[in-house]
Structures are given as structure tokens and as C-alpha cells.
Structure 1
Amino acid sequence: MSTVIAGGPSLPQERRVVTEIPGPKSRELFARKQAAVPPGIGTTLPVFVTHAGGGVVVDADGNSLIDFGSGIAVTSVGNSAPRVVERVRKQVADFTHTCFMVTPYESYVEVCEKLNRLTPGDHEKRTFLLNSGAEAVENAVKVARHATGRQAVVVFDHGYHGRTLLTMSLTAKNMPYKHRFGPFAPEIYRVPLAYPFRWPTGPENCAEEAAAQAIDQITKQIGAENVAAVVIEPISGEGGFIEPAKGFLPKIAEFCRENGIVFIADEVQTGFSRTGDLFACEDEGIVPDIIVTAKGIAGGLPLAAVTGRAEILDKVHVGGLGGTYGGNPLACEAALGVLETIEADDLTGKARRIGEIMLPRLRSIAEKTPAIGDVRGRGAMIAIELIVPGTKDPHPTAAAEIAKKCHAEGLLVLTAGTYGNVLRFLPPLVMPDHLLEEGLAILEKAISEV
């Protein structure tokens, strides 16, 4: 079955493998990459893309691959969504940049107005725009410290927040993110995350015990009165798509409210309908003091946002926030196109449908595969955790081998996890059902072979 999408080049929505993957043209380009780019810039699958849209990416050799990655949750509306393309095309002909801090433009304000309205909570809010998720997280912490007059920041096991100095410090995983890049920023404290699959006394005790341990550590080791902010992903991203046990996030949020601590939700990977809600913290009714967004916000253009309570953000002095490119007009127009697309095409509902298709299929596979320890996630943010059968020991080699087999068959999948043993799935929310089903069939075959 093949359908064709509009927007940019019309692309048949089909898997097509015409050479080995990567093919000769991609291998030639990859050799150029190795000669020009430092090896620290890794590559998951060295196929060089020429076109992409809907649920496929097409490479330089003419292979059409099913995309279960979305550029790491960026192209949720597709790589060439018509509303995004049209808005950006018009804007690039008008002007590409003025710097909002010098001579402003309406699209920046409109994006901020929409985020103030759409993010959880009916309190008065303010938003400012930046370039990347890491920059936004760093600015959220900066605002919280300024507003509270405190210094300590609490983060969680398995968390990932970026690659700048401060966000590396906030990130839990050493290799490859932190290894030999220290010294790191001070006044960062890490506490347990409610990780149901790996909680020592079982998932039924996870939320209560993890919250109690986290709060006890904060109280005894730091002092709640010294904590400016708690920063947490409602579902961990790079850490392995860990959905905290139900009840954990509300307990942490309540502790923050009681102690004047700014609760920061890092929704860089979970935001903009990815989990079947517009924002993942809505699942348990969490209303963060500050919410950080990026990735899916602008359909592939660099944009991020910090949205928070007006009484917190308004405390920062004039000139204390900003950046040359933050809220670039092209990215703002793209973001407006993304928000229009999410609403017009009910992509929040589509994310839930993707979950309804994927989760039962993956659980069925897990029942006959002892190496699958856990199937988890919400909406179109789903993962399986690979273990050594008969144990809970992580099995990263199995994850790597399955991914390699999927890639060879024309299915792009990503790995993740603190132990490198998680396969994560982030299909575009516009992916046709037939591609989703075909991708799952390729994945099942790869799992059975490994």
C-alpha cells in the first residue's frame, strides 16, 4: 500500500530498499563526513537523506526508510508539513532575522501567546524563546535561581537535560555525555527516580518509596530552603523512556509547592502531543511552575521556549534574558504552522492511536521473548528494555543488534537508556497506519532473529 503526501516533494509512503543500507552514495558521503567532521559527532545510521515527509526518509541511493525516530522527536508533524512549509516560505522572502531584542516582530509574540494559553494551568504566564532544549533548560534554572534567591538544583537518576556545561551537570549518564568534560557546575543534587521495572521492592511500592527517598535526601542533605528548583522529565528521554510510577510526580510537585521550590518540567522530548496529551505532565494533572519545550515545537527548525508563572519570570531584570537568534522569525512561523497542524489534524488523538497499535503488538512480542524485560511508554513515545533472559541484567548488545537488523531492512530505530539496552520508538504522528504495521513486522522479525 502506498499513499502520497503533500508539502515539499510528494513522497510515496512506502518502504523501498534498492541497495544495501547504507548504499554506495551514502558510503561515499560518509567518507567525506569522516574527513571533515570530528568523530565526536556520532551517526546512528549513515544514510544521507535527500527527501523526507510523512513516515519516510529517502536517502541518496533512492532507498525509502520507515522512520521510527522523527529526528529524535522533532518532526512530529512530518519533515515537510504543508502548513510549516508555507509559513516558512513566505517568511524567508520577507526577512530572515532582525533579533527580537533589537526590532521585534509579531510571530514571536504570537508563539508566546499560544504557549501561555496551551501549557498546563490557568494562571498568568510569560514565555520567552531560545534556540535549543539545553539552552531553555539552562535559562529555566537561571530564572528559578534569580526568583528564589537560592542556588541548589535537584535532578533525578536517569535524567537527560542537554550538553552544555550546566545541562551536562544536570544529566545523569556519564558515557557519552559527561565523560572527561568536567569539572561540572556546582550545587547540583541527584535523587532517585521512580523506575517501576527496576525498583528493588517492586513496581507496586515504587511511587511511594521513591518519593519518600527523594524528599528525605533533599531535606537532610540539602535543606528544602536552599533549593531553587527541581527539574524533571515527566517521561525520561535518553534515560530510557522511563514513565515514573503513578503518584510520584504529584508527590514531588506538592513538596515543591510546600517549600517554595520552582517545579520545572522538562518537556523537550515529551511535548507537543508526543505522549497522547499536548504535554506529558497533563496525564496526572501536574501544573509546573515552569515548562521547558523544544524539539517538536517547530517541525525541525531550531526553537525552544521557557513558559512559566508570571510572578517568577517577571522578576528577572531587563537584559537578563535573551540571545541573538532566540525566536528567529523563520522558526516562529514554523512553530505556528506546527500548532495549527496539531489542532487541525488532531495529532494528539493520532499519537494515542499509534500507542494503541504499538503497545499491544510489542507486549505480544514480549510474551514470547524472554530478553524483553519491559514494554512501556505512552502515545507515540514507546520503548522496550532488553535484558539477559532470566535476570534483569541490561542487554545492550541485543538492543544494538536488533537496531542493526532493522536498519538493514529499511526501518530507522533508535537506542537509549542509562545502560544502552533500550529500543525507543518515536514515529511521526502523521505516519500512515500501514507503515506503522510494516515497521512493527520488521521489528518483530529482527527481535526473533536476535
Structure 2
Amino acid sequence: MSLMSGRSRDARRLLAALGAVAAVTLVYGRWLHVSNPATVSTTYLLVVLLVATRSRFWIAAVTSLAAMLCFNYFFLPPVGTLTIADPPNWVALLVFLAVSLVASNLSAVARARTTEAVSRRDELARLFDLSRDVLLMTESREAMAMLARAIARRFDLAHVAIAMPPPPEWTFFEGGSASVTLDRQEIADAFSAAGKTLEFDAHARTYAGHRTTVSPDGTAVRLVPLRVGTKPVGVLAASGRPVEAGTLDALAGVVAIAIERAHLLEERTAAELTRHSEQLKSALLASLAHDLRTPLTAIRIAASNVGGSWLSDGERAEQGEIILAEVERLTRLFQNVIEMARIDAGAVSTDARWTYPSEIVAAARDQVEQSLRRHRLDVHTQDDVAVRVDPRLVAAALAQILQNASQYTPPGTTVRLEAGVADGALTVRVRDHGPGLMPG
């Protein structure tokens, strides 16, 4: 479609140029009756220059030939024939043709260079905009797909694919309006060759590693290696409008930097997660050490008191209950440690099933029965609605909350527990009379 429109535009410009030559001929020959060859030739030359500044060189050349023929036929003696009687007129005619052709060529070259400069300016602006897009990228893999779409949009390409090598396999992030099937073997070959060739040959001004291939669906695809330094990190595949090799190579450099930046962001995120994990482990170990000392101290004191002769039978039974409660607390503590180790190793699997809130509350209360013996537990549950959860894990979490309530709430006070279902999720509220958390 663009080829036909270009031909139509050239045809219109050629007709306009020939019409201008005809107009000059009619005005000077039929109306003003100008017979000075210098005036006529200068006017024809002006027409040729104007045509050259707006049209292709071949249109200006055809206009030059037409002007020369009109100049010879209508203004050089003998008028009305293509014969030239005076030899100096041959020189004038040839000089006119030569000057018009040279001027047309110079104008065409200047126009081509102007067009090239504008094109390069546009390419630089697109590269700048793309670099800004890269700086706004996140570390998610979706950012690579967004980058491919941005390249296709900014450079007006029908299809763009960023191919990243294994492991585990080739990954493609695509953008553009067209759907192109890429040959994975061609991509692999281009990637393999990228590590064996120089990036740029300054003498021949060629970019090694660039290649053009035809996809299985018949589309011409430019393959450009993505390098970070001398290390290949992927392949850029582009199809659509022609793009200069230098622009493609600069574009590939920006994409390679984007890939490296995404990797660095992923490594930074992983390092932050590791650091937070280590901090959490340190805090858990400190808490575990404290939680172990408390029941062990209570068991040691109660055990020493049980053997004392000064205790009554009731007081000795109370010391035995203390020992049982603390042993229960230690057992639950070790169970929690084992669960935490399994979670850290990724070995915990949930067993979700339909359960009533009252069943979960009963299981949690049985686990901390000894710890709650000095408190009144006020339970309110919603029994007519079931919820899909893992009852074992939820009961263990609720037991830990009740354990904390019994530990930090004064003896004889009430611990209120409410359990129900809201919007398909289990909701639990525990209220006690403890000091609460410290501010901050």
C-alpha cells in the first residue's frame, strides 16, 4: 500500500514539474516574447532547482531533460527545430544540462542528509525514552514483556521478542501488533555466535553477530545479540520497518542493560529477604530461649517443693499441677519449633476441610487446658456456619494465642474468645486483661 502511494505521489510531482516547464515556455514564448537565452535558461534552471528540493533525483533529471529540449526547440535558433546552427549554443545547452543535473544531485544529497539527520534525531529520542522506561522498570519478569511492548511501540515495529537463554529453557517476552513464530534453533545459533564475534568492525562499519532470518511463517526477522560487556545474555528479534544496524545495536545495548538491571534488582530483593529471614530467626531463637527458661525454672522450683515436708497435701497437689502445666507448655513449644522447621523447609502441606468454629476452639482449648486452669474462659462460637480451613494449623495458632493470654493475664480474670465466620473466612477475637504490647 505504501509503495503504491509513493508511486502515485512521484507521478503527481513529475506532472507538476513538466507543467511548470510548459508554463515557463508559454509565458516566455507566446506571451512575453522573451528571446534572451540567458533569461530563459536561468528561469528553467530555477524550476529544476525547485523540483529537486521537493522530489526525487530522477524527477529532477527528467525535468532537466524536458527543459533542455524546450530551451532548444523554442528559444535557440533556428527556432522550431531541434537543430542547433550556432556552435556556441551547443556549449550553452550542454552547460545548462550539466548545471541542472549537478544542482539537482546536490539538492537531492542535501535533502537525503537532512532526512537522515531527522531520522537519527528521532532514533536518539526513542532510545532516550526507552532508557527512561528501563529506569522505571521493576524486578518482576513482567517488566521484560513491558519492555518488549515499549520497544515495538516506540520504534514502530510490527513484532519484537526478547529471548533469554536457559536454564531451564528459552524464554520469550514479546510485543507488537503482529504475531511471528520464531525458530528456536536460529535463536540458539545467534546466541552461540554472539560469544565468538566482535561487536563492531570500525573499518567496514559492520556489526558482527547481526543476522537476518526468515521465520517459519515467512516473516523477515532481524536477530541482534544482547551483550553485557562481552558476555551474551540473550537475543533481540525484530521485524517490521527497516531499522539501521547501528540503531538496532544501540537498542540491543539498552535491552541488555535492562536485563542486567532486572537481575540485580532480583538479587537485591533476595538479599533483603535473606536478611529479614536471619533477623526473624535471631528473634525467634531469643524468644525460644526465654520461653524455655521460664517453664524449666517453674518445673525445677515446683519439683523441689514437692519433696518438702512443710507442704500440705493440697499444696503438694498444686505443685504437681504446676509441673503438668509447664510440661504441657514445653511439649507445645517443641511442637511449634518442629512446625517452624517444617515451614522453613517447605515441608508443610495444608489439609483444608469444612470445619465448624466450635471444633477448632475445642481443639485449641484442650491443648492449653492446664495453662488456663486459673482463668475463666468465656467462649462464644458460631456453630451454624462451616468454614474451609486446616483445623490442625488453625487450632495450633489459636492455642498459642490462648497460651499468651494465660501467661500475661492476672489469675482469676476472664479471657473472652469469640469465633465465627464472616465473608467465608474464619474470624477469631481473644480479649484478656493483660498489659498489652509496649508502644512502638
| TM-score normalized by the length of structure 1 | 0.21
| TM-score normalized by the length of structure 2 | 0.21
RCO higher in structure (CA 8 A, sep ≥6)? 1
